[in-house]
């Protein structure tokens, strides 16, 4: 009896180990908060977003350090960190969710798949449910993720001062481009 | 009346000057900056893994001089990222993203060589991330 229990424990452990995780720490996230009336672009890019995807369950997690966003204008970068996202208090934005149409996605087979991801986005100390559509391109054992969605900044307690409301939109556009590789 | 006009002009000119300066304010350049703390890569990651909040208190947005052995150099569409060895079991490192605007004497590093970078600490995202990095020579 003990042997059988042990066998099950070993089996369970091996199954967990073989569940394939995909990972990157070089994900690109672009933030575009340019309002339609703005003469200049309010946008920033980070190339160090992390993502972990569990291929067997479709669970997916993202994290990005707000301080790693680069703006063309140093002043904008400063305002973003100090007045908008308050990165000293909330250094990280995270998303934890789930591919909801995993049955339509075959991560073991090369191809491009539409994916719908739902989960919880945490930014500026506020957590909200979001859903985003994206494309997963599986090729040669790697998964490229492209997705775009909107974040309503005031929903996350980020207020746009009326002085700049003609430049900075409340409805920021987020674009993601990341290539995940099997985790060793 | 004339005096008032002159004063007004000066004020407007000064305001425009300040606005112009702020708008064109240069990006952080750490070339001549004094580092707030010096630490080796292994210690920095280990401290962050032990207590992220306390480490952010200590390191976040500070100018840190970090020393370590290069494990990987990546040129990601013009952005150079250098990984410094920490001995972490899962292979997490201290990642130094070189400044895009500060001058560099070199942007290529050999795997295994010991280097020191000055950078601003952005926090923990599996790795400890330093931005605006310049090499300390």
- The per-residue pLDDT for range B59-102, each reduced to its tens digit, is 999 999 999 999 999 999 999 999 999 999 999 999 999 999 99
Per-residue pLDDT tens for A31-64? Answer: 999 999 999 899 999 999 999 999 999 999 999 9
pLDDT of residue A128: 98
Q: Which residue has tokens 């995202």?
A: B125
Name the residue facing B23 among A26, A75, A87 (closest C-beta): A75
Query: Among candidates B53, B39, B37, B29, which has minimal Cα distance to B102?
Result: B29
Q: Is B100 on the interface with A (CB under 8 A)?
A: yes
Do B89 and B103 meet the contact criterion of CB atoms below 8 Å apart? Answer: no
Classify residue A8: in a domain, yes or no. no
Classify residue A148: in a domain, yes or no. yes
A168 forms beta bridges with A34
Tell me whether residue B96 is exposed, middle or buried, using C-beta atoms within 10 angstroms of its C-beta: 0 to 12, 13 to 18, 19 or more. buried
Q: Is the pLDDT of residue A120 over 70?
A: yes
Q: Which residue has tokens 């301080």?
A: A67
Beta strands (DSSP E) in B21-126 are 37-40, 63-76, 79-84, 94-98, 114-125
Q: At the fourth CATH level, which superfamily is domain B37-135?
A: Nucleic acid-binding proteins (2.40.50.140)
**What is the DSSP secondary structure assignment for residue A107, as one 8-state letter?**
T
Q: What total of structural domains would you count in chain A?
A: 1
| B97 with A88: Cβ contact below 8 A | no
Domain ranges of chain B: 37-135
ipTM of the prediction:
0.88
- The length of chain B is 137
């Amino acid at each position: 009896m003990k042997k059988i229990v042990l066998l099950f424990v070993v089996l369970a452990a091996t199954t967990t180990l073989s569940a394939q995780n995909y990972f990157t720490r070089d994900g690109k996230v672009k933030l575009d908060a340019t309002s339609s009336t703005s003469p200049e672009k309010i946008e920033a890019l980070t190339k160090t977003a992390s993502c972990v995807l569990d291929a067997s369950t479709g669970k997916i997690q993202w994290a990005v350090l707000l301080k790693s966003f680069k703006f063309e204008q140093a002043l904008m970068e400063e305002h973003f960190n100090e007045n908008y996202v308050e990165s000293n208090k909330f250094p990280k934005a995270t998303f934890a969710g789930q591919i909801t149409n995993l049955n339509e996605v075959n991560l073991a087979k090369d191809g491009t798949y539409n994916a719908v991801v739902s989960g919880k986005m945490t930014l500026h100390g506020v957590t909200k449910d979001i859903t985003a559509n994206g494309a997963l391109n599986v090729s040669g054992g790697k998964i490229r993720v492209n997705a775009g969605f909107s974040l309503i900044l005031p929903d996350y307690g980020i207020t746009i001062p009326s002085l700049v409301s003609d430049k900075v939109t409340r409805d920021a556009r987020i674009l993601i481009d990341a290539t995940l590789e099997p985790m060793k | 009346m004339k005096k008032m006009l002159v004063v007004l002009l000066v004020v407007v000119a000064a305001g425009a000057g300040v606005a112009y300066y702020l708008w064109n304010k240069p990006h952080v350049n750490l070339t001549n900056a004094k580092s707030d703390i010096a630490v080796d890569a292994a210690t920095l990651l280990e401290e962050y893994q032990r207590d992220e909040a306390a480490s952010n208190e200590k390191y976040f947005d500070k100018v840190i001089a970090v020393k370590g052995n290069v494990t990987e150099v990546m040129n990601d569409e013009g952005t150079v990222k250098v990984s410094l060895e920490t001995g972490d079991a899962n292979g997490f490192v201290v990642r130094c993203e070189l400044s895009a605007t500060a001058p560099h004497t070199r942007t290529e590093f050999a795997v295994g060589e010991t280097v020191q970078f000055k950078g601003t600490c952005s926090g923990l995202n599996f790795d400890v991330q330093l931005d605006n990095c310049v090499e300390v020579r």
